[in-house]
Structure 1
Amino acid sequence: MFKIIERRYLWFLISALVIVPGLVSIALFGIPRSIDFVGGSFFELAFAPDAAVSEVDLIQAFEDYGFDAPPQVVTATDPETGATRYQIRARAISSMAELQGIEQTDVKAGLYAALEERFGAFEELQFADVGPSVGRQVTQNAAIAVTLASIGILLYLTIMFRNVTHSFRFGVIAITAMLHDVVLVLGVASIMGHFFKWEVDALFLTALLTVIGFSVHDSIVVFDRIRENSGRMRGLPFERVVNHSVVQTLDRSINTQLTAVFTLMAIYIYSQGQLKTFLFWLIIGIISGTYSSIFNAAPLLVVWNNREWNTWFGRGKDAEAAIGA
């Protein structure tokens, strides 16, 4: 039989090695948020291959038109047409329109006319405008959604496992495993944002909530088997019961998640734009959720049951006798 629980500190170390770089990145660089969260206007414009335009020229053009802060410009080349695409993030047009007392469409039309006069004809591939107040509201709603999900999970598992000793622990550890996955995804988002200029948007939030669902579902599957075996294997050490339960659910957990991951990877290969990044977050989160439910959640139950933290800080080996306390 696989000795998964016996090697629990190895699994914890692996989790730490994966999560710590992301935490360092968050501390140093933060998490790059799109206009969905901070507000602003997003333009994706395609110019002709021979157009005399550069990132510096576009920044200057926006400032000349009246944007009081220089926009952020990212350049890409369309592999099919050879046209140069510019992704531009600037101050919200809606805010400028409000200050000038005119319609948003008039501000946008005037900007496009100035750009066309300066650089020639171009094509708008994408445009979005989010006011600062809306961006703040999205951020608040995201925090509320995660908080409510955590409270709901805690209550649900406490009630569901009420016939098991210390049922509250199942809920707390499920949330801990969930936070492991959330922090890992946020860390990867920070790293990708710093090196590849990715940003988190509303779709990222959707992916994060989906990952939370997958993570909790995986943990519940393992916990439910522990609950069943706790009654069937009375008298055996709790660590052995947990290890047996994890091994019993191992094939199901891995096969189920691999099916989802392979499907998402197939779609990822042929997708583009926001859908591609959305699928990337899902894949990372689902893999993390599978790992945390098997190698973190169940072992943490044993750590809590044995009160092993008493030995971490040198309080004596007698704490090991506290099994079941």
Structure 2
Amino acid sequence: MSKPVSTEPLAIQEGPLNLYKYRWFFIGVSLLFLLPGIYFIYANMTDPEVRAPLKLGIDFQGGTLLEYGFSRPVAQSDVEDIKTVFDEHGYTGSVIQIQEPRVGVNKEALEIGGGATQPSPPASTPPPVPTPAADTTTTAEGAKHATPTQATTSETKALAGEQKIASIVSIRAKHMQGQVDQEILKDLESRYGNITLLQKNSIGPALAKELLGNGLLALILAYILIVGYLTFRFQFDFAVCAVLALLHDTLFLFGMFAMFSRLYNTEIDSLFITSVLTVIGFSVHDTIVVFDRIRENLRVYYTKKLPFVTIMNMSVNQTLTRSINTSLTVLLTMLALYFFGGETTKDFVLAIIIGVAAGTYSSIFNASVLLAMWRNRGAGSQVAKA
């Protein structure tokens, strides 16, 4: 015996958050956070020394990155003096940054070197030039070759163990060829005493342009594939709204790093492109969760003449806790890596933190709201009534 069909209306639980009612507020908040980044992007592009939305590192611009370990502290007032040495050798416009010695550098070097800390000789008596660390130089054609005089990593650390490193100075200059870096090292040692070459990386202009082009191509391809997948999996308007939310996340991330470029001379490298692609993947995953619930509720409630705005609000509230909890777990992990991880991955982790936070906001407050506005265009009276 068949059960009678229930004629009672389905229970509708919209939840406490009414997104569509305050849609212009949420969109306004997004624009408010985007404006400073847009300003700094414009400032970087009009700066003759940058001429790009972000300050490009040697990965994308080409050049040589040198990292020296000084046996005595180097103050900010010494930056101009160090820059003068590079200017005298024809490398004008070099970017010089002073860093504190990384935790464990001296201890690890002493353990490998097996020697006690030696005092630095007086600056008036130039010490013998230490053997430079092993470096890999990339020519303009993209081929890699090792320099004729090189030392193994253990030898470099043992050499660093013979003296205490008080300051680390990193210099990004134009592409160096030959033994110019050793001549610069001699001049610096005549002024500052013992100096250890900790790192040397060179990338030619041709390879740098290729890396930049491949990185931009990867971003464009990611957007195209996302639009195609969401159009196939959902509908075209879902795909457009998801991509608009992704553009918001990408622009916000670019704007923040444009600000860091102006204020702290932060440069982007290939790891930054990796972080942007990671953020895009996480953000679209969060948006798909919301869109999938909207599609499920459409099948149940749309035939009951329930307005799309109500279905959207109900779907977002049903997935709100899951979206926030997922993002919090990622953010907590990234914060731990940022504060306790290595220096080389700090900018990469920071980009993911900023992107995940922006992606969570856009998935909840932008993508679904834009979809509702798209579906309800031209139906102002119905929406107001709903």
Coarse TM-score class (shorter-chain normalised)? 0.7 to 0.9
Alpha-carbon shift at residue 65 of structure 1 (Å): 2.9
Q: Compared with structure 1, are the counterparts of its residues 50 and 233 closer, same or farther at alpha carbon in structure 2 (3 Å cutoff)?
A: closer
Contact 2:74 2:98 in 1 (8 A): no
State whether structure 2 residue 309 is matched by structure 1 residue 239.
Answer: yes
Match of 1:297 in 2: 367
State whether structure 2 residue 250 is matched by structure 1 residue 182.
Answer: yes
State whether structure 2 residue 173 is matched by structure 1 residue 90.
Answer: yes
Cα deviations across residues 140-161 of structure 1 (Å, max 9, x unaligned)? 1121111111110011011111
Q: 1:129 aligns with which of 197, 202, 227?
A: 202
Contact 2:70 2:165 in 1 (8 A): no
Distance in 2 of aligned mates of 1:180 and 1:322:
29
Normalising by structure 1, what TM-score?
0.85
Q: Compared with structure 1, are the counterparts of its residues 51 and 17 closer, same or farther at alpha carbon in structure 2 (3 Å cutoff)?
A: closer
Distance in 1 of aligned mates of 2:21 and 2:359:
21
**SS class of match (1:49):** coil
Contact 1:21 1:187 in 2 (8 A): yes
Matched pairs, number: 297
Alignment of 1:249-288 (within 5 A): 249-288=319-358
Contact 2:289 2:319 in 1 (8 A): yes
Distance in 1 of aligned mates of 2:56 and 2:255:
13
Q: Compared with structure 1, are the counterparts of its residues 4 and 322 closer, same or farther at alpha carbon in structure 2 (3 Å cutoff)?
A: closer
Alpha-carbon shift at residue 132 of structure 1 (Å): 1.1
Distance in 1 of aligned mates of 2:37 and 2:90:
38
Contact 2:69 2:165 in 1 (8 A): no
Q: Compared with structure 1, are the counterparts of its residues 244 and 40 closer, same or farther at alpha carbon in structure 2 (3 Å cutoff)?
A: same
Alignment of 1:13-32 (within 5 A): 13-29=28-44, 30-32=53-55
Q: Which amino acid aligns with 1:63?
A: D
Distance in 2 of aligned mates of 1:137 and 1:51:
36
State whether structure 2 residue 99 is matched by structure 1 residue 76.
Answer: yes
Q: Which amino acid aligns with 1:48?
A: S
Distance in 2 of aligned mates of 1:41 and 1:113:
18
State whether structure 2 residue 79 is matched by structure 1 residue 64.
Answer: no
Contact 1:207 1:282 in 2 (8 A): yes
Q: Which amino acid aligns with 2:60?
A: F
Q: Compared with structure 1, are the counterparts of its residues 139 and 79 closer, same or farther at alpha carbon in structure 2 (3 Å cutoff)?
A: closer
Distance in 1 of aligned mates of 2:322 and 2:253:
24
RMSD of equivalent CA atoms: 2.1
Q: Which amino acid aligns with 1:240?
A: T
Match of 2:222 in 1: 149
Q: 2:380 aligns with which of 313, 320, 325?
A: 320
Alpha-carbon shift at residue 82 of structure 1 (Å): 6.9
Distance in 2 of aligned mates of 1:214 and 1:208:
10
Where do 5+ consecutive residues of structure 1 fail to align? 98-103, 162-166, 309-318
Contact 2:72 2:192 in 1 (8 A): no
Contact 1:226 1:242 in 2 (8 A): yes
Match of 1:3 in 2: 18
Distance in 1 of aligned mates of 2:366 and 2:326:
18
Alpha-carbon shift at residue 3 of structure 1 (Å): 1.1
Normalising by structure 2, what TM-score?
0.72
Q: Which amino acid aligns with 2:263?
A: F
Q: 1:43 aligns with which of 55, 63, 66?
A: 66
Alignment of 1:103-122 (within 5 A): 104=178, 106-122=179-195
Q: Greater helix percent: which structure?
A: 1
Distance in 2 of aligned mates of 1:303 and 1:8:
9
Distance in 1 of aligned mates of 2:308 and 2:211:
44
Distance in 2 of aligned mates of 1:301 and 1:258:
25
State whether structure 2 residue 277 is matched by structure 1 residue 209.
Answer: yes
Cα deviations across residues 156-208 of structure 1 (Å, max 9, x unaligned)? 011111xxxxx101111111111100000000001111111211111111111
Structure 1 range deviating more: 54-63 or 179-188:
54-63
**SS class of match (2:21):** helix
**SS class of match (2:312):** helix
Give 1 or 2 for the bigger CA radius of gyration: 2
**SS class of match (1:5):** coil
